[in-house]
Chains A and B, each alone.
Chain A
Amino acid sequence: MNFQIATLLGQDGLTNGAIYALLALSILLVFTVTRILLIPLGEFVTFGALTMAAIQMGKAPVLEWLLLLLTTIDCSLDIYQQARTRIDKTKLQKTALKLGYALLMVGLMHYLNLAETPMFFQAVLTLCLIVPLGPIMYRLFFQPLADAPALVLLIVSIATHVAMVGVGLLLFGPEGARTQPFSDSGFRLGNVMLKSQTLWIILVSIVLIVSLFIAFERTLYGKALRATAVNRMGARLQGISPVFAGKATFALAAFLGAASGILIAPITTLYYDSGFIISLKGFVGAIIGGLISYPIAAIGAVAVGMIEAFSMFWASNYKEIIVFTLIIPFLIWRSMNSQHVEDEE
């Protein structure tokens, strides 16, 4: 172990840690606002990476059909509901708009020369495909039982995860994929080679985290979400729609998940089922933060990345065991230090 190795491992740990931090924040956000532990978050990561890879190979990623299918179900539910109450013109317009968006995406995927478009645009397209899946998922699977006990929500969440892994296999096939790096250049710091992708990941993660922070502190919508997280009933009494809060957090989670996927796809091979283990490490970070504190969760997630990198060097066989055993002392420490409040109204 010398300085050079330590920096290489540190660089690796920081890269993965930044991704885990993004995921830990999404898990935390969704949990505090909706009481749902978002197990399918990892699937957004893999869907993001695999869609990007498909686009770069110049073929339509097939995901657009899933989007169209789910949007259609969503819209028919909307129309059914309205037919039972009364027809509202603005709501109908909204439904038509959603369907139009899905159709537009299908059209774009099939008529654009995907491989030729610049990489930034490819990433935007990927996000445009995946982010709407978040709110639709909330609408279809969670909204009908938003008031159910947390355990029921957890079970539905696990079921959604299993279904999405299956869908992933169907859409993307069993082979792994990786994408082209954002830029090929790397530069030297002393005698250590720094990869530019690492810098990209760390930079984008910091930008995302800071903009999230600003959004939650300064904007009305951000404050509404925070209010829901603090007290659901109270926020509702103040006129904050729980449906809106749920959909907004799911959209944010899908965005952060897919963005993480796009960021790490150039440095690793991702499979349709790799998402779970990645989001699980974000989850360890969120647990370190007690599923309540954002900064501690982010720091915890980076620590997970670091520990992972160094245990990979010293004891590659026991890497996962070391990372997941971390959770135990924190749970003990947490349960001893905080009085437990049962959150079941």
Chain B
Amino acid sequence: MLSKKICTALFLTSSLLAPLANAEIKIGVVSSSTGPIALVGIPQKNTVALLPKSVAGEKVTYISLDDGSDPTATVKAFKKLIDEEKVDAIIGPSGSGNAMGVIQFAAESGTPMLAPVGTAAVVLPMTEQKKWVFKTTQNDDLIASALVDQMKSSGVKTIGLFGTADPFGENWSKVMKELTKKAGIKIVANEYFQRQDTSVTGQSLKILIANPDAVLIAAPGSSSVMPQTTLKEQGYGGQIYQTHGAALDPFLRLGGKAVEGTILAASLMLVLDEVPDSPSKAIATKYVADYKNLYGKTPATFGGNVFDAGLLLKNAIPSALKAGKPGTPEFRAALRSALEHTKEMPATQGVYNLTPADHSGFDERGRELITVKNGKWTLLK
């Protein structure tokens, strides 16, 4: 008898508490902490612990899911977060392909999605659905234009492109074709390889035969190393450029002497000690220190992209709270338009200026030209 009463009492209290529990802000995080792009996903998942815990007096909870780098699993994770958890916004996923597949679900349910992915295709060209997507990484063309400017000023006339046969490499080759045409640089070789290839001798020989003044390698993570070591082994003497995909410490460790003198453009997180003081530097320094405290190693820039998503939300939530309670469609819609009007907000990757047309919002403060000197990242001077 007694237990029945207790049960009823518990049931009643819990049903009373339920709406209260809903009042807190819920953010879903989807990252690929296993599978082929785990390299990107793991620092992102780790960063969740560093995201703001409360904003404007409201508690923020994060629900972190892993999609195993599988686009189908990403869709499932998104549906779960939207339908069951009723989240107010989603940070993620880690992969470009994964992100493209879930845009329609975010848009249909009216949930803002902050994607820390590389490809600009998630926010460009802007459509009715992509209005719900925000991108916390530098667009490829922003990084590429810095590299092309550098090539032009150092007198490079011909380049070879050496990219991965995935969205990352393909998009870079597209962007470079447009930018080099304007700059009067000719692309004389365009070769592709797979991340897991055990050898790239053939592609590298083909580039050597074309003999370009410089080679740009566009590959994410440690896969950017092998093309460069192979080129050097075969005696290529020109300048080698890398993208922000290579901006990881394993690149230096794996490449050793072969990557000395490489030029790349990436966020200031790599060369924190050398850049002049700025609000971004302060935020990035603190983020790196906190991450190091928690996990004992410095985060890859991919983690910074998720951290920035958290800061963007923190910035937008106070004004969205005026429009409605968390958990309601009004709140989510207000959150979206508040995000869209983010002005001059410094974060780890640079300064965000979002507009209805530009949902990435970086300018040249979001990139630095970096070179490898004595086995260390240094600012290119």
Type the 1/0 row for B218-232, where 1 means its CB is closer than 8 Å to any CB of A. 000111011000000
A176 interface residue per 8 A CB criterion: yes
A274 touches B202 (CB 8 A): no
Give which listed residue, B192, B198, B203, B234, contacts A268 with CB less than 8 A.
Answer: B198
Distance of A268 Cα from B254 Cα, bound (Å): 10
Type the 1/0 row for B24-45, where 1 means its CB is closer than 8 Å to any CB of A. 0000000000111011011000
A320 interface residue per 8 A CB criterion: yes
B221 touches A175 (CB 8 A): yes
Q: Contacts A175-B39, A176-B222; is A16 near B205 (CB within 8 Å)?
A: no
Please provide the chain B residues from 319 to 337 with a CB less than 8 Å away from any CB of chain A in the complex: none
Q: Which residues of A contact B248 (CB under 8 A)?
A: 175
Q: Which residue of B lies closest to A4 (CB)?
A: B205
Give which listed residue, B192, B203, B221, contacts A176 with CB less than 8 A.
Answer: B221
Determine how close the nearest CB of chain A comes to the CB of B300; give it in whole angstroms: 9
Distance of A312 Cα from B194 Cα, bound (Å): 11
Q: Which residues of B contact A270 (CB under 8 A)?
A: 198
A90 interface residue per 8 A CB criterion: no
13 A–B contacts from the bound complex (CB under 8 Å): A19-B198, A176-B222, A268-B226, A309-B199, A309-B201, A312-B193, A312-B197, A312-B201, A312-B203, A313-B203, A316-B206, A317-B165, A319-B194
Interface 9-mer from A5-13, A136-144, A248-256, A293-301:
A5-13
A267 interface residue per 8 A CB criterion: yes
Distance of A247 Cα from B223 Cα, bound (Å): 36
Q: Which residues of B contact A169 (CB under 8 A)?
A: 34, 38
B196, B202, B234, B254 — most chain A CB neighbours (10 Å)? B202
Q: Which residue of B lies closest to A308 (CB)?
A: B199
A12-B199, A310-B202, A312-B199 given. 14 additional CB < 8 A pairs? A169-B38, A173-B42, A175-B221, A175-B250, A176-B250, A178-B254, A271-B195, A273-B36, A309-B201, A312-B200, A313-B202, A316-B165, A316-B202, A320-B194
Please provide the chain A residues from 260 to 291 with a CB less than 8 Å away from any CB of chain B in the complex: 264, 267-271, 273-274, 277-278
Q: Which residue of B lies closest to A173 (CB)?
A: B42
Q: Which residues of B contact A174 (CB under 8 A)?
A: 38-39, 41-42, 221
Distance of A267 Cα from B229 Cα, bound (Å): 9
Give which listed residue, B38, B193, B250, contacts A316 with CB less than 8 A.
Answer: B193
A166 interface residue per 8 A CB criterion: yes
Chain A interface main SS type: helix
B223 touches A268 (CB 8 A): no
Q: Which residue of A lies closest to B226 (CB)?
A: A269
A274 touches B198 (CB 8 A): yes
Please provide the chain A residues from 131 to 176 with a CB less than 8 Å away from any CB of chain B in the complex: 166, 169, 173-176
Q: Which residue of B lies closest to A276 (CB)?
A: B196
B191 interface residue per 8 A CB criterion: yes
Q: Which residue of A lies closest to B68 (CB)?
A: A166
Type the 1/0 row for A71-100, where 1 means its CB is closer than 8 Å to any CB of B. 000000000000000000000000000000
B198 touches A16 (CB 8 A): yes
A313 touches B206 (CB 8 A): yes
A174, A175, A176 — most chain B CB neighbours (10 Å)? A174
Distance of A311 Cα from B36 Cα, bound (Å): 25
Determine how close the nearest CB of chain B comes to the CB of A294; give it in whole angstroms: 23
Give which listed residue, B35, B41, B198, contacts A278 with CB less than 8 A.
Answer: B198
A106 interface residue per 8 A CB criterion: no
Please provide the chain A residues from 302 to 344 with a CB less than 8 Å away from any CB of chain B in the complex: 309-314, 316-317, 319-320
Please provide the chain B residues from 151 to 206 with a CB less than 8 Å away from any CB of chain A in the complex: 165, 191-203, 205-206
A54 interface residue per 8 A CB criterion: no
Q: Which residues of A contact B233 (CB under 8 A)?
A: 195
